Chain A
Amino acid sequence: MGNTMTDQTQATGSTGPVPSQKDDSSSAIIRVESMNKWYGDFHVLKDLNLSVRQGERIVICGPSGSGKSTFIRCINRLEEHQQGKIIVDNIELTDDIRHIDTVRREVGMVFQHFNLFPHLTVLENCCLSPIWVRKTPRKEAEEAAMEYLERVKIPDQANKFPGQLSGGQQQRVAIARALCMKPKIMLFDEPTSALDPEMIKEVLDVMIELAGSGMTMLCVTHEMGFAKTVADRVIFMDGGEIVEEAPPHEFFTNPQEPRTQKFLEQILDH
């Protein structure tokens, strides 16, 4: 508890001293240190600091355009940062393509629009990367893929094409596909935003189950119920900054910052 409080003070005092974070960040699987990103002249991400321990589950929320998706996309280098450091699993993300590939192998990602490969079957979608990147023998990869498909409760769809599945099923396949690489970290970029309301639950259930298994998770979402149930920390971003960072109970009952309070009012009141 006391630990989190210090985190919070650091985050709010945005240029807070980095060294004091070193102690607990030595065991951190993700470390982001004074990271800045620009799109041309537009300063999208401003001096972000974050340290994530192995097995920690973090929910990032904030109004649209606050840079939360851009932030987690920086963690597997789908977006480039211009300043500061991002260190994932002890590898610093630089221009070095080998470092990027190594990090991407350990970081799974689930997208808002699923991004399944439409020309491949569900099973092929899941096996592709283990076979071509991890060099797993096909049979072994398929068996593993079936296990994960069972875990997301759609083994019976394995030989269908993504276009034949519902949105919720597609997103569960996307989760299974990412898990097939046996990643150490999972990133979720608004995984339920493109789904019809009745399908949101089936995806969240899978994510809750995954959270229970000890996976390190970073999740950008507006599902506050999910945040309350599984998150260790909730991060609120606005205007490219981390405005507030707190355990969910504290975050929802006693938000410190006016911007957080306003945001919570807006999303919880409707």
Chain B
Amino acid sequence: MAEPMLKPPKVAISPLDWMRQNLFSSWYNSLLTIVVGYMVVTSVGPLFTWLFFEATFLGDEPSDCVGTGACWLFISQRLNFFIYGFYPDEFQWRVDVMFLLLAVCFVPQFIERFPGRKWFGLFGLTGLPVVGYFLIPGGNFGLEIVESSKWGGLMLTLILAYIGIIASLPIGILLALGRRSEMPIIRGICVVFIEVWRAVPLITVLFMASVMLPLFLPDGMNFEKLMRALIGITLWQSAYMAEVIRGGLQAIPRGQYEAADALGLGYWKKTGLIILPQALKMVIPGIVNTFISLFKDTTLVLIIGLFDILGTVQSTVTDPAWQNVAIEGYVFVAFCFWVFCFGISRYSQNLERKLDTGHKT
């Protein structure tokens, strides 16, 4: 842990020896190396040419794109739409404030020695949604109301994923605990909830939320489409989360429960102090996996008419003013998703290392 550790001595190997050992150790390895090498050279070269060397970065008009490479003007010209959707220009500072807060809360999480980074993270999980709740829709503190139908782009993707993630974790924990409860009614409710939601595709949930639900609700009681989608995503996600966490709960040895019991800790203290910290730590990879897949699944809101980042790009690539920019658009979307998902993944690895107390069960 805190003690300095010496790394095992490095054995010096010349590049030639390394190649002989790793790339050309036998005739079929040599063949494989040559084939793969050929494929890399023939594909990576043109890719970079298209992405950077022949690409157009500067200009204002679609007609400025003359090279054979990518037309990044399409992205830079429509970036505002891709990030904010139809959010009015004059209020976009509110979204920017949220982006900034998001960065302030989570960038320190990657810096090991950042002072008080725990508090930044905690604020990100609790305070940030509250700030966002007042700032983005407006309506309070003299802020103009911006209807949720105008939200879109990356901002909408992040709202859906962020709320889905931080709301589904606690609900999932409660469901997992409930499913292992000794009280039959609670257990029954949790089992039914989990099995119903988990057996339904997200698309169906979103359809139900946007099309069917209003039919069942009494007149006048109708809340926004985005809110309905959010609730649907959260409940659907928490069913998955519950099962991941249940896996962790079941992996905790019985002795841990008994030791906590013997010390006189009641159910909630035992669960909160002993069982959950260990169970959650154990299933970090599973939790993060679920988060990442949720992040990407948010693109499905397109089918109920919400324009997330993929939706905004997709609706723009058909713009007749721009010719053949679909690839650029999708590459941009893929890159955005990759940045966030890779970030989540790196952070979880970071967390796993930090929480490793050298215990093997």
Chain A residues engaging chain B, CB cutoff 8 angstroms: 76, 78, 101, 104-105, 107-109, 111, 113, 115-119, 128-129, 132-133, 160-164, 177-178, 181
Contact = CB atoms under 8 A, between A and B. Distances in A.
Interface of B: 1, 253, 255-256, 258-266, 269, 273-274, 277-278, 281, 355, 357-361
Contact of B255 (A111, A119, A129, A178): A111
A162 B274 CA distance: 14
Given A115-B255, A115-B256, A119-B281, A76 B273 contact: no
A119 B278 contact: yes
A104 B255 contact: no
Contacts of B256: 115, 117
B264 A133 contact: yes
B264 A105 contact: yes
Given A118-B278, A133-B263, A113 B255 contact: yes
Contacts of A132: 265, 269, 273
Contact of A118 (B263, B264, B361): B361
Contact of B265 (A78, A108, A133, A162): A133
A132 B263 CA distance: 10
Contact of A161 (B253, B258, B273, B357): B357
B262 A108 contact: yes
A113 B259 CA distance: 10
Contacts, number: 73
Main secondary structure of the interface of B (DSSP, over half): helix
Given A113-B255, A117-B256, A132-B273, A163 B359 contact: yes
Nearest to B269: A132
9 contacts: A76-B261, A105-B264, A111-B259, A113-B255, A117-B274, A119-B355, A128-B273, A133-B265, A181-B264
A115 B258 contact: yes
A113 B361 CA distance: 11
Contacts of B260: 117
Contact of A104 (B263, B278, B358): B263
Contacts of B274: 117
Contacts of A76: 261-262
B357 to A, nearest CB: 4
Contacts of B265: 128-129, 132-133
Contacts of A128: 263, 265, 273
The 9 closest A-B pairs by CB, nearest first: A118-B359, A163-B359, A115-B259, A115-B255, A129-B263, A163-B358, A109-B262, A104-B264, A161-B357
Contacts of B357: 118-119, 161-163
A107 B262 CA distance: 8
A202 B226 CA distance: 65
A181 B361 CA distance: 26
A218 to B, nearest CB: 13
A149 B355 CA distance: 25
Nearest to B261: A78
A163 B261 contact: no
A109 B359 CA distance: 22
Given A111-B255, A133-B265, A161 B278 contact: no
A185 to B, nearest CB: 12
A113 B260 CA distance: 14
A133 B265 CA distance: 6
B279 to A, nearest CB: 10
Given A113-B255, A132-B273, A161 B359 contact: yes
Given A117-B274, A163-B357, 9 more contacts: A104-B261, A105-B264, A111-B255, A117-B259, A119-B278, A119-B355, A119-B357, A132-B269, A161-B358
